[in-house]
Amino acid sequence: MANFLKKLGFGLKKSSEKINQGLADVFTKRKLDEETLTALEDALIEADLGVHAGARLIEAFGNKRFEKDVSPQTLKEALALEIEKLLEPLEATFSTEKARPYVVLAVGVNGAGKTTTIGKLATKLIREGKQVSFIAADTFRAAAVEQLVVWGKRAGARVFTGAPNADSAGLCFDGLKAALQAGDDVVFIDTAGRLQNKNGLMDELQKIVRVIQKVLPEAPHLTLLTLDATTGQNAVSQVQIFKEIAHVDGLVITKLDGSAKGGILAEIATTCPTPVYFVGVGEQIDDLDVFCAKDYARSLLGL
Ligand SMILES: Nc1nc2c(ncn2[C@@H]2O[C@H](COP(=O)(O)OP(=O)(O)OP(=O)(O)O)[C@@H](O)[C@H]2O)c(=O)[nH]1
Ligand SMILES: [Mg+2]
């Protein structure tokens, strides 16, 4: 946990430096006039908090009354609290108890971190004593299947694979039946992330959902959209696009260990609020944890 926070703090360092510079300017001027607030808003936007989130935060912050001799630390704490309040509604609890097998559909653009996230999550669940399997629904890329097989071995999860270029929906049908038969507690479906063709991806995802509902009418129980934090504001449009083409229950934000754009969650909270289940801060198994608004907000301020 301490290590996780350290990595998060390190990843958000560039963002926190920008915000702290903005705060330092406020402090030098010793008043929250319009000019200093605008400068602080610019700093927030530069830290990728986004224009809408920046405006909302500045409004809340500008309405605060500070003592004349307010310390930089107090200002920092106050801004962290405002960001925490903005992000708190996004906190979500992941529980696989309500169905067996509990089916998680992983969606997201290429390279966002879907497969890695599935691998990390499965490891945690297996450590808790759950029986887990993977369905390798990205049948176009041989490397994608291999990568999932490697994670399966590492985590101790069975991997259901098909022939190269097999129909992914058909594979999901067979894989889910096999999972039912085996009595798995949780099944992760790893999909392909091609977004070059929005209609194609939509058709494919809808077909997968239709087909798995023939096996389990309530499935998928959770559709998780994985976002790469280093893509900055582009992640916001990915949320919007995926919500158009599929049902999205929640988000996973990856690569917060190497991001200069840690603020994106604030813009998501403001423009397209979606529950955030997990955040990733690296490539290893323990580099995934549940999203905590307070930790995130404080790391964003370098606290
Ligand atoms: N630094 C860092 N790297 C990550 C994180 N999550 C995933 N990665 C890396 O990002 C790269 C892409 O991750 P994948 O899990 O393969 O992404 P994907 O969404 O499955 O990609 P496709 O299968 O191509 O659609 C890999 O090299 C991962 O190790 C993270 O939280 N931090
Ligand atoms: Mg993948």
Spatial neighbors of 153 by CB under 8 A, at least 6 apart, are none
Q: What is the spatial distance between Cα 211 and Cα 54, in angstroms, rounded to a whole number?
A: 42
> Which ligand ends up closest to the CA of 113?
1
Minimal-distance CA residue to ligand 1 atom 21: 111
- Whether the predicted pLDDT of 189 surpasses 90: yes
Residue type, 191: T
- List the shell of residues around ion ligand 2, using CB closer than 5 Å: 114-115, 144
pLDDT at position 277: 98
Cα 248 to ligand 2 centroid, rounded to whole Å: 18
> Which ligand ends up closest to the CA of 226?
1
Q: What is the pLDDT of residues 161-173, one digit of tens each?
A: 988 888 999 999 9
pLDDT at position 18: 87
Q: What is the pLDDT of residues 243-252, one digit of tens each?
A: 998 899 999 9
- Whether the predicted pLDDT of 261 surpasses 70: yes
What are the b/e assignments for 181-198, b being 16+ CB within 10 Å? eeebbbbbbbbbbebeee
Q: What is the pLDDT of residues 198-223, one digit of tens each?
A: 788 888 899 999 999 999 999 999 99
Minimal-distance CA residue to ligand 1 atom 7: 113
Q: What is the spatial distance between Cα 113 and Cα 254, in angstroms, rounded to a whole number?
A: 6
Tokens found for residue 41: 């808003």
19-31: average pLDDT: 79
Cα-Cα-Cα-Cα dihedral sign, residues 230, 232, 234, 239: positive
What lines the ligand 1 site, CB under 6 Å? 108, 110-116, 138, 144, 147, 193, 226, 254-255, 257-258, 280-283, 287
- Atom number of ligand 1 nearest to Cα 254: 31
pLDDT at position 169: 94
Q: What angle do CA 44, 288, 171 make, to 5 degrees?
A: 115
Cα 247 to ligand 2 centroid, rounded to whole Å: 19
- Whether the predicted pLDDT of 117 surpasses 90: yes
> Which pLDDT band, with edges at 50, 70 and 90, does 27 fall under?
confident
Which regions of 23-126 does DSSP assign to beta strands (E)? 102-107
Strand partners of residue 288:
280
Nearest in space to 255 (alpha carbons), one of 290, 225, 226, 222: 226
Mutational pocket test of ligand 1: of 254, 279, 286, 288, the residue with most ligand atoms within 8 Å of the beta carbon: 254
- Atom number of ligand 1 nearest to Cα 258: 1
Tokens found for residue 234: 């582009």
Cα 43 to ligand 1 centroid, rounded to whole Å: 29
Q: What is the dihedral of CA 234, 236, 238, 241, to 10 degrees?
A: -130
Cα 67 to ligand 1 centroid, rounded to whole Å: 46
Q: What is the spatial distance between Cα 160 and Cα 174, in angstroms, rounded to a whole number?
A: 9
Minimal-distance CA residue to ligand 1 atom 25: 110
Q: What is the pLDDT of residues 31-47, one digit of tens each?
A: 677 888 888 898 898 88
| Single pTM value for the model | 0.94
